[in-house]
Structure 1
Amino acid sequence: MKLFNLRLLLVLSLLIAFGTVGSVWAESSNATPSVNLKTEQWTGHSFTFLALPADKQAAGYEIFAVDQATQGFEGDQSVRIPYAQHVGKQVTVSEVIPYPAGPNQQEFMVYMTVNDTREKLVGRTMRGQIEGLVLTDDLTKAKQQFLGKTIYPKFRELTGMYIPGSNKNPMAVPIPIGSPVTVVDVFAGNQSQEPIWLVVSVNGEKAILPIAYSWTNIPVTSWTGTQPWQDALFSEDPRQTLGWSHNVWYQIENGNVEPGMTKGQVLLSWGKPVRSEADDSIWIYANKKINFSSDVVDTVEDVSTNQ
């Protein structure tokens, strides 16, 4: 009864803060095997605490013991749960309660229990996401799919691995786009948008390729119809499967875009545009504009000459 009253008080205080007091409803989930879980489907699922970037570890996670949650959500950082006692631990979500967070906007109070200590915690989503957590099932499946396998990253360089005890900062590891590397380890990283780190071997050096395995705990506005890890890598040799000419690969490897290239080829060469216009037929980069005709590059213009 005491725990219920604390929850009710916390939710009501949030509703009052946003100027709205209405009915509070909770939708439970039976831990379905769905890969992409919306926040209201988290009940019954396990999450793992990510590492935090070094500059955020002292402040701890923006998640609170239930009896200190009201203070925490009012901005008291001293009641955040400590980093050292929680990093790497697993929690199971016990309840998800939505609340109105503004006009046509809904957020969630997420109650969870630490699996080994039974500590009761609560976090509040922002844009449907709680920073510092990864779906445990995503981490397990990523290991099953990628560990020991050859993959083909879609980047020209990867972040080098930090060597414990070394005074040197990790250096970027150059790599031709779409070239083969071997995954030698998989673990939870320190960024919620790409929470899983694939450790790969590149010419005897270790480097990190961060991915998201599913769209779970990523704002729904970012979701697409493809699996998120596909933005970071090919699972098969693209030079064998895509059938592109040697000239196309030469342009991509040298960071060029020319008429006749497809949108997929442009994305590999230049990455995502700053913005798109005219129903996605124009892509704008920092100083270039690409005009497409039927998803094929028609012209590439210097933006500065048109201003």
Structure 2
Amino acid sequence: MRRKGVILLCMVLLLGSCVLTGVSAMAMSSPNLPPEQWVGKTFLFHALPADRQGDGYEIFKTGDAERGWAEDRSVWIPYAAHAYKRVRVTNVVVFPAGTDQKEYLIYMIEKDTGMKLVGRTVRSQLEGLLLEADLNQARKQFIGKKVYVKKRFLELEDKLGGDTPQTIAVKIASGVQVVGVRAGIRTDEPIQLIVLVDGQRAVLPLAYSWTNIRSSAWKQTQPWQEVLFTEDPRARMGWPQEVWDKVEAGSVDTGMTKNQVELSWGPPEDIIDDPYGSWKSVWKYGTSSLIFKGDCLISVEN
């Protein structure tokens, strides 16, 4: 009887999550461009964390490329001279990088100076660049809107870059107002939403599309959906209050769906799918193993 109740609960909760997923899928999106499609596109050099600005960008003037690939850091282009500058990709050259793997040489021209540059991807990602269209689309979609965060803490804007960054607590799935969008400091999350939390300006970092994100990280949903909802999930999901109580407390229990577990504990460190096709999968969190059958959590093991 308990197992039937758990399965029924999962079906109801999954239906609620599907409603919100459908709404998100219709939201404004930016194209997910693999490197083969970068020619003619405009990127900008985003800021770097303070401890990396001295190194500059691992991108070189075309005449210095061989020295750069030989690990001569003196030919990395300097941070101060190139941060926030715009480049247009002029050519992309594919080269083999192991068995059934490939990487890319990205040739660019800096729009302000006409300087010709080249960089080499690692796992299809070229560090330091943000697709300008992503930044523009994020501004159109989010500025002035309320979003619902999937994080418990955000860094305060005026404390970024210091030795001791300060954070502010945020209730899971609570609504915050977006008052600004700007380039970020990391290629995996190259855009920062500036949001108001209890009257203070905090930063919510994200990627808007999968363009220039490691190829192994790509998913069917857009990457900004990893960190926020565009609509109030409490109104849209239809989850019972007892589920929200668990999510807000950072706990998990059998009967919860994968969406609920991930909202409570964050993305798993590893996912192991059953090779025998029984529709079971295991999510690993440190010493804890969460066993799912389909979308439903059926066991928590330590």
Do they superpose with TM above 0.5? Answer: yes
1:98 & 1:167 partners in 2: Cα distance?
A: 39
Deviation at 1:34, TM superposition (A): 6.8
Match of residue 41, structure 1, among 37, 43, 68: 37
2:163 & 2:108 partners in 1: Cα distance?
A: 39
Deviation at 1:106, TM superposition (A): 1.1
Partner of 2:296: 296
Q: Contact 2:159–2:166 at 8 Å: present in 1 too?
A: no
Partner of 2:205: 210
Q: Deviations over 1:121-165 (max 9, x none)?
A: 11111111100001000000000000111000101111221359x
Deviation at 1:291, TM superposition (A): 2.1
Structure ranking higher on relative contact order (CA contacts 8 Å, 6+ apart): 2
Match of residue 246, structure 1, among 241, 245, 249: 241
SS of residue paired to 2:212? coil
Deviation at 1:294, TM superposition (A): 3.2
Partner of 1:128: 124
Q: Contact 1:161–1:170 at 8 Å: present in 2 too?
A: no
Residues 162 and 169 of structure 1: CA distance in aligned 2, closer, same or farther (over 3 Å) = farther
Does the alignment pair 1:193 with 2:188?
yes
Flag structure 2 segments of 5+ consecutive residues without an equivalent. 1-28, 275-279
1:102 & 1:281 partners in 2: Cα distance?
A: 30
Q: Contact 2:105–2:120 at 8 Å: present in 1 too?
A: yes
2:163 & 2:58 partners in 1: Cα distance?
A: 31
TM-score by length of 1: 0.84
Which one has a larger percent helix, Structure 1 or Structure 2? 2
RMSD, aligned α-carbons: 1.7
Matches within 5 A, 1:252-271: 252-271=247-266
2:223 & 2:159 partners in 1: Cα distance?
A: 28
2:104 & 2:299 partners in 1: Cα distance?
A: 46
1:147 & 1:58 partners in 2: Cα distance?
A: 32
Q: Contact 2:53–2:79 at 8 Å: present in 1 too?
A: yes
2:269 & 2:164 partners in 1: Cα distance?
A: 30
Matched to 2:88, the amino acid is T
Matched to 2:233, the amino acid is P
Q: Contact 1:162–1:169 at 8 Å: present in 2 too?
A: no
Does the alignment pair 1:95 with 2:88?
no
Q: How many residues align?
A: 269
Deviation at 1:101, TM superposition (A): 2.0
Flag structure 1 segments of 5+ consecutive residues without an equivalent. 1-32
Deviation at 1:88, TM superposition (A): 0.6
1:295 & 1:124 partners in 2: Cα distance?
A: 39
Partner of 1:56: 52
